[in-house]
Amino acid sequence: MRTTDDPHSFVAKLKIKFMEIKIVLLPIVTNDFEDTVAFYRKITGKDVSLSAAHDGYQLSLVDHFVILGAVDGPEALEIPSLVNAIFVVDDLEAFWKILEKESKRIIIPVNRVSTGIRFIVEQKDGKVIEYLQLNDN
Q: How many structural domains is the chain composed of?
A: 1
- Structural domain span for residue 96: 21-134
Q: With respect to residue 83, please indicate whether it lies within any of the assigned structural domains.
A: yes
pLDDT, one tens digit per residue, over 107-132 is: 999 999 989 999 999 999 999 999 99
pLDDT, one tens digit per residue, over 77-93 is: 999 999 999 999 999 99
Q: What pLDDT band is residue 4 in, cutting at 50, 70 and 90?
A: low
Which CATH number belongs to the domain containing residue 110 in this structure?
Answer: 3.10.180.10
Cβ neighbours for 54, distance < 8 A, ≥ 6 positions apart: 113, 114, 115
Determine the Cα–Cα distance for residues 115 and 92; give it in Å rounded to an integer. 13
Q: With respect to residue 3, please indicate whether it lies within any of the assigned structural domains.
A: no
pLDDT, one tens digit per residue, over 24-54 is: 999 999 999 999 999 999 999 999 999 999 8
Query: Are the C-beta atoms of 38 and 62 separated by less than 8 Å?
Result: no
Q: With respect to residue 14, please indicate whether it lies within any of the assigned structural domains.
A: no
Q: With respect to residue 102, please indicate whether it lies within any of the assigned structural domains.
A: yes
Q: With respect to residue 85, please indicate whether it lies within any of the assigned structural domains.
A: yes
